[in-house]
Structure formats: C-alpha cells, structure tokens
A and B are shown apart, each in its own frame.
Chain A
Amino acid sequence: MPDVLEVRWHGRGGQGAKTAAVLFADIAISTGRFVQAFPQYGPERMGAPVVAYNRVSSTPIRLHTPIERPDYVLILDPKFIGKRNLTAGLSPRGTVMVNTPRRPAEMRQALNLPGATTVCCLDASRIAEDTIGRNIPNVPMVAALVKILQLVTLEDLKDFVREQLEKKFRGQPDLVKGNLEAVDRAYREVERG
C-alpha cells in the first residue's frame, strides 16, 4: 500500500459505486489513514454512468482537486469497456480491477493495457447474485480491492463490514450474512494478472 493512493470507480446508478467509495474510505480510516471519498455529481438516474473517487494517505490530505491520474481504476460495469475511456490518466504502474467472469489476460487485451499495469478480475456480479440475490457488485469489489492492497486481513474486514451492515440493515440478518459471504468469496476469488 503506497503512502498516497488515488482510486477511481466507474459504475452505473444503482450499482453502488458511490457507496463503494464510502465503504472503502470507512475501512481505510479504521487503519489510521486519512481519506477522501467523493462522487462526480451529475444527473442521478438509475443506469446512468457514475464516477466516484477515493484518496487514501498516511498523512493529512489537503487537496481538493479532481483525481486525474488514479493508481487504481475499478470497473463495476464491464459493458463500459470500448465505449468510455475508463483508463484515462491511469498511472503507468497502475491497477485496473474489472467486474467480469473473464480472465485478466483477456481484460488486458480488451482494455489495451501495457505490461507495466496490473489487471485484476472478479466476477462480482455473480458473487452478488449468489449471496444477496441481486446484481449489486459494490461490496465484493471493495473486498477485492482491500485484498489486493493488503489493507486489512480478511477477518478484520469481515468484522468491519459486519459492524457497518448491522447498523445499516437492522432487522435484515440475511442481508448481512449474504454480504459477509460476498466479502469472503471476493477476498478468495479475485484474480491478479
């Protein structure tokens, strides 16, 4: 995990890109780091493209500028590939993580990424369907990012997510259980290429 990390999330309204950035910030802050989470605001509609950002740093963050050269790009909806410039500004040794059942080598080709970049794949939509019964891939994607960064251990991550979700989904223990299972699977299944 570098001293300063900049992340960009690409999703669609309803996929939880903004929530993903907030959850990731919450996890990072729990490790004693400084964080920012902010979406790019536009018309809010189900299905419309959504972009959200994170800054994570070991020292206080003073910048209030847009993130133009992210270290990590997370693609929640692979249908964007080929239609939008998802890797704009990606740092030369950056990482792209895609919600897809395909392999990193295929994704590297599809996104036309040079060898110095890292490509990670996770079938987050499948995990979400299996565990919470809905295609909301944000929680597994956050878990996979935490794993790749080695930000916290799986046990700590599950404890944290449990605590957050028990507050958010009071009286819906199935949803909490499903999301924890999603975290578990994402942590194990994310493939780095």
Chain B
Amino acid sequence: MGSEVLAQKETRYRALSGNEAAAQAMRQIEPVVVAAYPITPQTEIVQLFSNFVSDGLVRTEFVPVESEHSALSAVVGAASSGVRAMTATSSNGLALMFEILNIASGLRLPIVMTVVNRALSAPINIHCDHGDTMGVRDAGWIQLYAENAQETYDNLIQAVRIAEHPAVRLPVMVAVDGFIVSHGIENVEMLDDQTVKTFIGTFQPDFSLLDPDHIVTIGPLVLQDSYFEIKRLQVEAVEAAYQVITEVGLDFEKVSGRCYQLVEEYRMEEAETAVVALGSTAGNFKEVVDQFQARGVPVGLLKLRVFRPFPAEQVRRALARCRAVAVMDRAHSLSGQGGPLFTEVKAALQGTGFPAGSMVNYVYGLGGREITLEMAQRVVEDLQKLAKGSEGDQVLPVNYLGLRE
C-alpha cells in the first residue's frame, strides 16, 4: 500500500455493527409484525428497527411488549395469522422465552429471530458465550451461527427462506456473538432492497387464524393419541432442513457471490488434525491454521454454520482423515462429558473408528473471557502432540482455555 496519499475510491462495503447488519436485514425483509421487549438484555437491533418503523421505511407493525415471553407470544400469534413475524433477543431474554420457543416449533411457525449470544445469569454478566442458545438447542428451532457481521446479515436473509420452505416450516434462530460481533463494526456488503425482496419472495402460509373461510384450530390439546406422531413429524421437518439449507445457500451464492453450506471446511484438504468451532472464534483459527500450514503443519478448521440440525454427515466426512481433533465450546455443560459441541461431534464420529482419545474439548470464553491468538495457537500445538501420541504428552479430554486456575 505504500505511504502515498490515496484517493478515495468507491467501496461496496458499509461499516456496520452486527446489530446494525441484523436491523438492516430486517428492514429489507420487512416482516408484517415485529414484537420485542426493548429493555436489557435486549440489544439495539429492535431499537434500530423501530427507528425504521418511525421513519416510515417499513410498514411493519411494531409491538413493544412487557417481557420476552410476551414478545415471542405476540410473534407466535402474528405468525399464526399467516404473516412474516420476527423478533430478537439475548441471554436471559431467550431463557424467558423457553416455553414459547417450543410452542413456535410445535406449531410449525416459520419465525425468524436473531439471538445475540450472551452469558446467562448467575452471576450477572452481559458478555459473550453460547450458554443461551445451547440451552435451547432442543427446542425445535434451526440454529445458524454467524462468524461476523456479514454472516449475520446473510444468515438472516437465508433464514426466511429456510423457515418458510414447505418441507421445513420451522422457526430459525440466527446466533451472533455478543459484543464481539453484535457491537463491533466491520465491513458489510448489503444486497439491494429489491434483490432481498425477490430472494425471499412472498410468504405462502399453510393456514391463517384470520381466514374465516378456512377455519382452523391452532394449539389444541393433543394427548396420548397424537402427540407422539406430531413430534415425529417435527423430526422429519428437521431432517428435510439439511437439504433446504444447502439449496438456499446455493441460491444465495447466485445473488451475493458468497457461499454458504452446512459447514465450512477451511484448509481441510490435507489436514491431519482439525479444530472444530462455531461463531466468531472460527476466524481466529483460520488465522492460526494459516500460520501453522506455512510451517508445514497439516492442520485445518471445520466451522459449523448450522448446529441444529446437527450436520453429522458433513462432520464425519470432513474429519475422516484426521488423527486428532480439538472441539471448541463457548458454553459449558454440566454433563461431566465436556461442552455441547464436543458431545455432538463425538456422537457423530461414533462407529467410524475414530479413536475417542484423539478428541479433545476446550471450553473457552465464558462470560466474555477473551480468546487470544496465543490461546488458539496452544490448542493447535496440543493437537500435534495428541496426533503423535507420544508418552508424557497427554492432553486432558476436557480443557479450560484462558481460565485462571
């Protein structure tokens, strides 16, 4: 670049925070209803969106409510009437939604919600970890995790198509690392409004609560005779989602030039060891993978974009050639068996002959504890020892990275 004075040149990027990127995507999606609880632990996403409503940029009905439980309840009501409805939440707010999360998925309502990942109380903490979304991983929602502000924007737009696909009809949450991505400003390339509108198309609901010519009952009592079957149908929808998420990703690449799949394999072609991560930390490992590969160390990164449904087949395929794997968990599980991503990856590799002792877990970043490049480098160094399997170089199955002990 040199030290010459550079003239300004056109850039296709805007400097946006993750929150702004999410709010802009919501503006372009222009849902008919947005309901939100506007106080902590909310982020500025819905506040920014409410400005768009006030400025007349969208025709959305904005409903401020008295709690997160009510926010999602109002969105469930709106979606039941056959319209697009969205909200956003974070940490304890998501926890308060737990009852309604299951109702939204059980009613097969294609709601899209941004969740800014922040630690759950107690103790009170507002910073990033994945304890909130991991805590609701089995509430029947599809979960997409964003590495940066660009992916936050892109995932939200794709989420509408995924949720509304006739074979899926499930709610989708787009997880975004709190503060690190939500409040940090980065380059974001937005699509123009019309491209987004064309991409998401018009919503064709299966039913509407407000259609008196086609009366339906929504949310009735279903006991021993059919509850089980309805849950089984939800499993089928989740299984259909693999294909739909992949197809929507391919379509999105056509309009944006950006490729989205269930997982992202970074320099995995020749990798003998691999790191598995999701969210913003994946970018740190891309940097570290490049550093180690430059020294001839065959390490790669497997980034999971989708956690629900769990891309077990892609994980098996990507890790098949690896001799040692490190799984990064920004959430703790009190199962005594490591974090939630670790146990899922382990389950996916079950029966493939992958030696259990060659898989290690790193719990990191709880409550916003920073992850530095040195920490990421240490993980890759540990992996090399593990791959060699030399005596005296034991790595514990579950490790705590950046913890004061």
A binds B: yes
Q: What residue in chain B is nearest A64 (Cβ atoms)?
A: B280
Q: Are B371 and A65 within 8 A (Cβ)?
A: yes
Residues in A whose Cβ lies below 8 Å from that of B179: 38, 41
Known contacts A22-B185, A26-B15, A35-B186; A63/B1 CB under 8 A: no
Question: In the complex the two chains form, what is the Cα distance from A62 to B373 in whole Å?
Answer: 12
With an 8 A cutoff between CB atoms, is A25 at the interface? yes
**Which of A107-115, A117-125, A128-136, A150-158 forms part of the interface with chain B?**
A150-158
A91: chain B residues at CB < 8 Å are: none
Residues of B within 8 A of A36 (CB): 184-186
Q: Which residues of chain A come closer than 8 Å to B286, judged between CB atoms?
A: 62
Interface size class for chain B?
35 or more
Chain A residue at minimum C-beta to C-beta distance from B376:
A65
**Residues of A close to B378: CB separation below 8 A:** none
Please, could you name 10 A-B residue pairs with CB atoms under 8 Å apart, sorted by A? A25-B15, A29-B11, A38-B184, A61-B186, A64-B280, A65-B284, A66-B372, A68-B372, A150-B4, A152-B7
Is the CB of B177 closer than 8 A to any CB of chain A? Answer: yes
Chain B residues positioned under 8 Å from A14 (CB to CB): none
| Cβ contact within 8 Å between B287 and A62 | yes
A2 within 8 A of B: yes
Top 4 A-B pairs, shortest CB-CB distance:
A62-B283, A38-B184, A64-B280, A37-B185
Closest A residue to B290 by beta carbon equals A62
Does B361 belong to the interface (CB within 8 Å)?
A: no
Q: How large is the interface on A (under 10, 10 to 19, 20 to 34, 35 or more residues)?
A: 20 to 34
Report B274-297 CB contacts with A as 1/0, cut-off 8 Å: 000000110110110000000000
**Residues of chain B contacted by A66 (CB below 8 angstroms):** 370, 372
Question: Is B228 in the interface zone, CB < 8 Å from A?
Answer: no
A29 vs B6: C-alpha distance when bound (angstroms):
12
Contact A29 B370 (CB under 8 A): no
Residues of chain A with a CB closer than 8 A to B9's CB: 31-32
Are A2 and B1 closer than 8 Å at their CB atoms? yes
Contacting B187 at CB < 8 Å: which of A2, A29, A38, A151? A29
A68 to chain B: which residues have CB within 8 Å? 372
Contact of B3 among A1, A41, A160 (CB under 8 A): A1
* Cβ of A78 under 8 Å from chain B: no
Chain A hits for B370, CB < 8 A: 65-66
Chain A, residues 6-35, CB within 8 Å of chain B (1/0): the string is 000000000000000110011001111011
